[in-house]
Amino acid sequence: MISLDEARQIIGSHTRVLHPEAIDLTKVNGRVLAHDISSDQFYPAANLSMMDGYVIREDEQPGSFSVIAEIPAGQITNGKLSRGEAMRIFTGGILPENGGRVVMQEACVREGDMVSINEFPDSLFIREKGAEARPGDLILRSGQLIGPSEMAVLAQLGCTQPQVIRKPRIRHLATGDELVKPTEVPSAGQIRDTNSSLLAGLTAQYCSGMDSSLVPDQPSMMSALAEGDWEVLLISGGASVGDYDHGADVLGEMGFTIHFDQVNLRPGKPLTFATRGNQLAFVIPGNPVSHFVCFHVAIRLALETLCGMAPNWSFLSLEITEQSLLKPNPRETFWPAEILVKDKQWTSRPKSWSSSGNTFSLIGTNALIRVSSKDFPLTLPLNS
């Protein structure tokens, strides 16, 4: 049986980042940028006022000024300031060529065409042309994960169809004769399918859509429903060695190469990983907690890589409260946990968890505690 580190190595070596596509700026949240983007102009494009007030020359002293013009937003004034003159200006307004100081209106007294300023504040209240970026400056690098802030930057640069890495299409089969949809009332021996909902939530940020079906434990139906031009196939259940566990056999018959079918991992030991060309497939042990753990320690690595993201595998050394809940085991264990603030410190609290079939133990889980025989338990924070 291979270790989790070996399993991650194998997954990484068989996974390639997907090709880029140009998409509308409104849809790029959560995508990875596929090209460098440079500044198209000076930012700001001119010297701008940071306040509503009056603009004067920088070489002036406090005193009285005659107001010779008003500069409405977005207008360029060709006039110049002589000594003793001011122009009315507003926040974001473009300064006249020799304007060197803005005084906010609260520090001014206006009477008719005159304005008196008793004292100058320390700041000139000017955003200088090119202070933020100059033409050709590198602003966003290829590989940048795009969130709301980067969307605002793309909008500012006029980049409305950025090239971003495509997201994989995922095909999902929830296998098991005992499964019924969550809308149904299970009869004796049946259970509601929880894994489809779990995976829909877990995969949402990493795929362009997950197509899910319930399938009985019948290899011919499983392979018929599994075929397609998706990039990732997830099969829930049927991962172990029982007579009705057909996941790996079905993949073999479909022409997949099985790279591993067991990992020294708790929960999630019978996790299977296979490939066919550029298609990746996982058979995930049917228990919901096994699903959750296998997703975060193995499947997410593949999805993040396909999407061009830097795989997140950083652990924190946090104080663990209620450490006695962490039962030792020969298998490397990833224990569902919750990161909480206690006495102004982040702490990690294990969930009460005794069976990988207990879906309720996942409530509020935002971390996994890695318990291996040799190390102090470390906490893996989760972002989904």
Ligand X SMILES: Nc1nc2c(c(=O)[nH]1)N[C@H]1C(S)=C(S)[C@@H](COP(=O)(O)OP(=O)(O)OC[C@H]3O[C@@H](n4cnc5c(N)ncnc54)[C@H](O)[C@@H]3O)O[C@H]1N2
Cβ atoms of 55 and 124 closer than 8 Å:
no
Residues 200-229 that bind ligand MOO (CB under 6 A): none
Q: Which of 193, 261, 304, 332 binds ligand X (CB under 6 A)?
A: 193
Residue 166, helix vs strand vs coil = coil
- Selected range binding ligand MOO among 148-156, 260-268, 315-323, 370-378, rule: CB under 6 A: 260-268
Query: Min. distance of Cβ 204 from ligand X in angstroms?
Result: 18
Does 269 bind ligand X (CB under 6 A)? Our answer is yes
Does 356 bind ligand MOO (CB under 6 A)? Our answer is yes
Closest CA to 18 of 4, 32, 29: 32
Does 88 bind ligand X (CB under 6 A)? Our answer is no
Cβ atoms of 272 and 234 closer than 8 Å:
no
Q: Which is nearer to ligand X, 173 or 318 (by Cβ)?
A: 173
Provide the CB-side half-sphere exposure for 338 (13 A, CA). Answer: 12
Q: How far is CA 249 from CA 98, 259, 261, in A?
A: 79, 13, 11
Does 267 bind ligand MOO (CB under 6 A)? Our answer is yes
Strand order in the sheet with 85-89: 101-104, 53-56, 85-89, 63-71, 114-117, 108-111
Does 285 bind ligand MOO (CB under 6 A)? Our answer is yes
Residues 16 and 31: their CA atoms lie apart, in Å, by 16
Does 269 bind ligand MOO (CB under 6 A)? Our answer is yes
Q: How far is CA 196 from CA 77, 78, 239, 286, in A?
A: 62, 65, 16, 11
Query: Min. distance of Cβ 382 from ligand MOO in angstroms?
Result: 18
- Selected range binding ligand X among 17-25, 193-201, 318-326, 332-340, rule: CB under 6 A: 193-201
Does 178 bind ligand X (CB under 6 A)? Our answer is yes
Does 290 bind ligand MOO (CB under 6 A)? Our answer is yes
Q: Which is nearer to ligand X, 165 or 281 (by Cβ)?
A: 281
